[in-house]
Structure formats: C-alpha cells, structure tokens
C-alpha cells in the first residue's frame, strides 16, 4: 500500500462504467492530478467506479498496465490495445470520407447507382 512518505509508489487505476465495463486503464504517481486530466475526455462522464492498485515503482506499474490493457481490453485505451476505440472511429471516418460521393462521381453515376456502389 502506498504511503505519503514513499512517493515512488505508483498507482495502476481502472475506470469502469455503470455496467462494470472497463473503460480505461492508466498509471500515475499523482493519481488525483491524473484523474483531473481525464476530466475532458468524452468517456470520463461514464465513470462510475475506480479501482486502484499500488506498485513499488513506475516500471512495475507500467508493466502491469500493459498487461492489463492487452488482456482486459479497456474500451478507450489507445496504447497496447490494437488501436483502441478512437483509432477505429478515426478509420471509419476516413473510409466514409473517402467513399463520400464527389462532384466527379455524380457526373458519372446516378443517385441510385451511387447507393449501389456505396452499399
């Protein structure tokens, strides 16, 4: 357990939503500061429960974080999570933008033909 006299102890924390789905896993030496920095994240409003486990130093906490992200697959982590949700959303937006009909396409295809192409 961390004590105020040993600032080298590092927290690994997990954020869960109201269905106990894992939203995010992180590491910090200053937990309250780090929690505050998550306050602007769009998913942060969904947090209903927090778990904290203490590690002897940051290196151990980072190793545990990586293992937790890889094995537990939190929804909003980007690192170690095969891209995570935000990369998937960005990829979908890029694909949709690339497939969006352009003026050149509209000259070549009717609206019905475009629907067939895009479906």
What is d(CA 105, CA 27) in angstroms, rounded to the nearest whole number? Answer: 49
pLDDT: which is higher, 68 or 6: 68
pLDDT: which is higher, 49 or 117: 49
Domains assigned to the chain: 1-82 (3.40.1440.10), 89-119 (no CATH)
Residue 13 has pLDDT above 80, yes or no: yes
Per-residue pLDDT at 3: 45
CA distances from 81 to 64, 74, 87 (A): 14, 8, 10
Strands (E), the chain: 10-16, 22-28, 49-55
What is d(CA 85, CA 61) in angstroms, rounded to the nearest whole number? Answer: 23
The pTM of this model reads 0.63
Per-residue pLDDT at 79: 74
Q: pLDDT tens, 75-116?
A: 998 876 665 554 554 555 555 555 555 554 445 556 666 555
pLDDT: which is higher, 59 or 99: 59
Per-residue pLDDT at 5: 46
Edge-first strand listing for the sheet containing 10-16: 22-28, 10-16, 49-55
Quick one: which of 12, 27, 14, 11 has its CA closest to 76?
A: 14
Average pLDDT, the chain: 76
What is d(CA 46, CA 41) in angstroms, rounded to the nearest whole number? Answer: 10
Per-residue pLDDT at 20: 96
Per-residue pLDDT at 32: 86
């Amino acid at each position: 357990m961390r004590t105020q006299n040993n600032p080298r102890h590092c927290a690994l924390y997990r954020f869960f939503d109201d269905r106990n789905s894992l939203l995010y896993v992180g590491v910090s030496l200053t937990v309250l500061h780090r929690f505050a920095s998550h306050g602007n994240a769009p998913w942060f409003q969904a947090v209903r429960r927090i778990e904290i486990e203490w590690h002897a130093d940051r290196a151990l906490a980072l190793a545990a974080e990586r293992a937790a992200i890889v094995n537990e697959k939190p929804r909003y982590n980007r690192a170690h999570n095969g891209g995570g949700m935000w990369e998937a959303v960005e990829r979908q937006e890029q694909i949709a933008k690339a497939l969006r009909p352009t003026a050149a396409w509209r000259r070549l295809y009717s609206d019905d033909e475009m629907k067939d192409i895009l479906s």
